[in-house]
Amino acid sequence: MMRRRLPRAGPPCQIPPAIAARILLLREDAMVLDKPAGLAVHRGPRGGASLEDWLEALRMGKRHLPQPAHRLDADTAGCLVLGRTKPALAALGALFARGAAEKTYWAVVRGGPAGAEGSIALPLRKRSSAAQGWRMEAHPDGQAALTRWLLRGRAEGLAWLELRPETGRTHQLRVHCAAMGWPILGDALYGGGAEGGLHLLARAIALPLDPLLSATAPVPPHMRAALMACGWDGA
């Protein structure tokens, strides 16, 4: 059987400035993008814009298109890691699968916890209905899920939380915060209201590669006012 030849890697193409501005970190094996809120990582069955539209521009001379090494909700902004080679993608996937990635999120929630720090250990499962579609819910029969949280600041009716998920369940942070009575601002699906967009940012990522892979995403425009009201200094 003849093997199909892969195309030779061509010269790097000119990256559109809007995409180039989203590259937080670039190295031979991986890159980290600042994914904008509202952009799906994968193209859905109904089509529409997605990160897949960017991949050819992000190839930059590599034989294979870069591919996401983990998931990030369409409405969540911030750090998204992509592998630039097949071996790198496999290594990155293994790190995420065994929980070796250090993920830090910022969220603005309605209400907020009474204490300064703590953890949420609630198993999660998927629920679907013809009327409402699918969503995740906290349920004893679900998969184990653990989120650590730290209170960073408060405003009237709001709180700024730093969230560190120890597991990577779908919608984990959104459901955990809602289950505790502090839904994330702008999260219409889980009780945070529909105004202003989801106030959830994948703020930082660190992976134990050699050398260490780490990146920090800027705060998106739609979160700035609420974070500053809660005491964020803009840095």
Q: Choosing from 34, 73, 75, 187, which is the catalytic residue?
A: 73
Give the DSSP letter string of the chain: -PPPPPPPP-PPPPPPHHHHTTEEEE-SSEEEEEEPTT-BSS-BTTB--BGGGTHHHH-TT-SS--EESS---TT-EEEEEEESSHHHHHHHHHHHHTT--EEEEEEEEES--SSSEEEEE--EEEEEETTTEEEEEE-TTSB--EEEEEEEEEETTEEEEEEEESS--TTHHHHHHHHTT-PBTT-GGGTS-SSS---EEEEEEEE--SSPEEEEPPPPHHHHHHHHHTT----
73 has catalytic annotation: yes
Which residues have a catalytic role annotated?
A: 73
